[in-house]
Structure 1
Amino acid sequence: MHEADGAFVIPNPWDAGSARLLANLGFKALATTSAGLAFSIGKRNSAAALTRGEVLANASAIVAATDLPVSADLENGFGASPEDCAETVRRAVETGLVGGSIEDASGDADDPIYAFDAAVERVRAAAEAAGKAPFLLTARSENFLWGRPDLADTIRRLQAFEEAGADVLYAPGLPDLQAIRTVCSSVSRPVNVVMGLQGPLFSVADLSHAGVKRISVGGSFARAALSGLKAAADEVMNAGTFSYSRAILGDSEATRLTTTRDEPHTFD
């Protein structure tokens, strides 16, 4: 998929049911979302709140839910050292994942981005661990998400991550199509862009023409589901009515989309 012409969308389910729904709608690959997981279990989305075990257990459930290849949001590797990143990749491979991302955000509010050399060594260690398995490593430069809108430094980091062995490159939060084009033309590996978050929205065609290869949606599908839940609950709480039920999936359709064909369908 990364070698075909144009861009493709890799959506982000947060559990087995949402993974099956997306697979049944025709998507060809999936990626986990730490934000979606955090929403579903009532935790904040951060490496400090989500443990490596929780993230990989969630990924394992998504892997088992469909026959599609799954890549995982592996946060910052769940540790500062290169060996932490390598260990996370090794465990991800054992989980059945065929890809995953490592970011250069430190989780420290006072110093949110790892220093350049440390960030590169972390990616290098992850790439060496990934190189022993069929595993596509995505390296993320987080500058634009942490108040450091430095495009030159972001590109420098992505180029160094490519040199260190990353298969896919990713700089979430780029401000416009020109910045996206500049990133894509500055590296030779496929570039991932996230859509559905805050900021400008571009179509698949727009991003494909800019040179993007892969488009993810992060936690935005999970937030869309939460938006529907909140709207329904607000109506019941504040108006005492239930008109939301006229626009939702029927039970049989929901069951069809979230189960596999070999599972029995039962209705209460």
Structure 2
Amino acid sequence: MSKVEEFRALHLRPAPGDPLVLPGPWDAASARAFEAAGFPALATPSAGVAASLGYADGSTPADEMFAAVARIARAVEVPVSADVEGGYGLAPKELVERLLEAGAVGCNLEDSRGGVLEDPCEHADFLAEVRAAAGDALFLNARVDVFVYGDGDPERAVERAVAYVAAGADCVYPILAPTDLLPVLRAGIPGPLNALARLDGDGPSPAELGGLGATRITFGPGLQRRAERAVRELADGLAS
């Protein structure tokens, strides 16, 4: 079984309350730590990688992002999916080629640009072109930004998600969807559903998110930010 086949199969395994949990490594060392802990796959966060490279979220040059993904994928044996934001303006064929060259088995692609939602039909067409260029070589996770930059209407989120699945997306990611809306989204969206887990202790656990309908759990830059806080505490202790 190839790595992308393995990655795709992991999304079909989860039962309610037992979602696929994908930590987000920001460099090779963190990737190896997550692999050593037993996680079967990883999913890079663009904001976490940006911070590790000294950039603000959304400001990482494409070449540096793909190079970072390549270092992470090369450092581990488990499948690695890459958050490549909106695709950096690359044509679908080139985007797919860059991802495969980096060793990624999948990608996140968001449906907003500069804080503004893309036209859902145009974005669906873009996803369809990515799918056509990739064939079965990439697992496509389509981010839905209605709860970030839109009006938060779950019906609009479902409409976008359904269109993206029809265009070839393997999974959809209504990022920052309120927890109480997950059952509504699950009922309306076919296929795997990605939910964001928080690490502040105020939100539901990955298992609880799974019980509400999520089949895949990611953390955004949360793990990188927690690690950064730990380093700052260590540095403060050394300096005192």
Q: 2:85 aligns with which of 71, 75, 82?
A: 75
Q: Distance in 1 between matches of 2:202 and 2:168?
A: 30
Q: Distance in 2 between matches of 1:86 and 1:201?
A: 39
Q: 1:218 aligns with which of 204, 217, 220?
A: 220
Structure 1 stretch 206-215 or stretch 8-17: which is displaced more?
A: 206-215
Q: 1:113 aligns with which of 93, 111, 117?
A: 117
Q: Distance in 1 between matches of 2:143 and 2:199?
A: 16
List per-residue Cα deviations over 1:173-228 (Å, max 9, x = no partner).
Answer: 0112x311111111211011111267951122212222211101111110001111
List per-residue Cα deviations over 1:218-258 (Å, max 9, x = no partner).
Answer: 11110001111222233444xx2xxxxxxxxxxxxxxxxxx
Q: 1:30 aligns with which of 20, 42, 49?
A: 42
**Deviation for aligned residue 1:89:** 2.2
SS of the residue 1:13 aligns to: coil
In structure 1, the partner of 2:103 is 96
| Structure 2 unmatched ranges of 5 or more | 1-9
Q: Distance in 2 between matches of 1:223 and 1:14?
A: 10
Distance of aligned partners of 1:15 and 1:202 in 2 relative to their CA distance in 1, 3 Å threshold: same
Q: Distance in 2 between matches of 1:126 and 1:180?
A: 27
Q: Distance in 1 between matches of 2:188 and 2:76?
A: 35
**Deviation for aligned residue 1:94:** 2.2
Distance of aligned partners of 1:193 and 1:86 in 2 relative to their CA distance in 1, 3 Å threshold: farther
Structure 1 stretch 21-30 or stretch 194-203: which is displaced more?
A: 194-203
**Retained in 2: the 8 A contact 1:31–1:73?**
yes
In structure 2, the partner of 1:55 is 65
Q: Distance in 2 between matches of 1:33 and 1:205?
A: 21
Distance of aligned partners of 1:214 and 1:92 in 2 relative to their CA distance in 1, 3 Å threshold: same
Q: Distance in 1 between matches of 2:197 and 2:26?
A: 16
Q: Distance in 2 between matches of 1:233 and 1:64?
A: 30
Q: Distance in 1 between matches of 2:143 and 2:113?
A: 12
TM-score, with structure 1 as normaliser: 0.80
Answering whether residue 184 of structure 2 is matched by residue 175 of structure 1, we say no
The structure that has the greater radius of gyration is: 1
**Deviation for aligned residue 1:76:** 0.4
Q: Distance in 1 between matches of 2:101 and 2:127?
A: 19
**Deviation for aligned residue 1:129:** 1.8
The total of aligned residue pairs comes to: 228
Distance of aligned partners of 1:86 and 1:210 in 2 relative to their CA distance in 1, 3 Å threshold: farther
Q: Distance in 2 between matches of 1:40 and 1:114?
A: 28
- Superposition CA RMSD, Å: 1.8
In structure 2, the partner of 1:156 is 159
SS of the residue 2:107 aligns to: strand
In structure 2, the partner of 1:251 is none
TM-score, with structure 2 as normaliser: 0.89
| Structure 1 unmatched ranges of 5 or more | 241-268
Residue 62 of structure 2 aligns with an amino acid whose one-letter code is: R
Residue 183 of structure 2 aligns with an amino acid whose one-letter code is: R
**Retained in 2: the 8 A contact 1:141–1:158?**
yes
Residue 215 of structure 1 aligns with an amino acid whose one-letter code is: I
**Retained in 2: the 8 A contact 1:197–1:218?**
no
Q: Distance in 1 between matches of 2:190 and 2:76?
A: 31
Per chain length, whose mean CA-contact separation is higher, i.e. which structure has more relative contact order (CA < 8 Å, sep 6+)? 2
Q: Distance in 2 between matches of 1:198 and 1:173?
A: 14
Answering whether residue 137 of structure 2 is matched by residue 134 of structure 1, we say yes
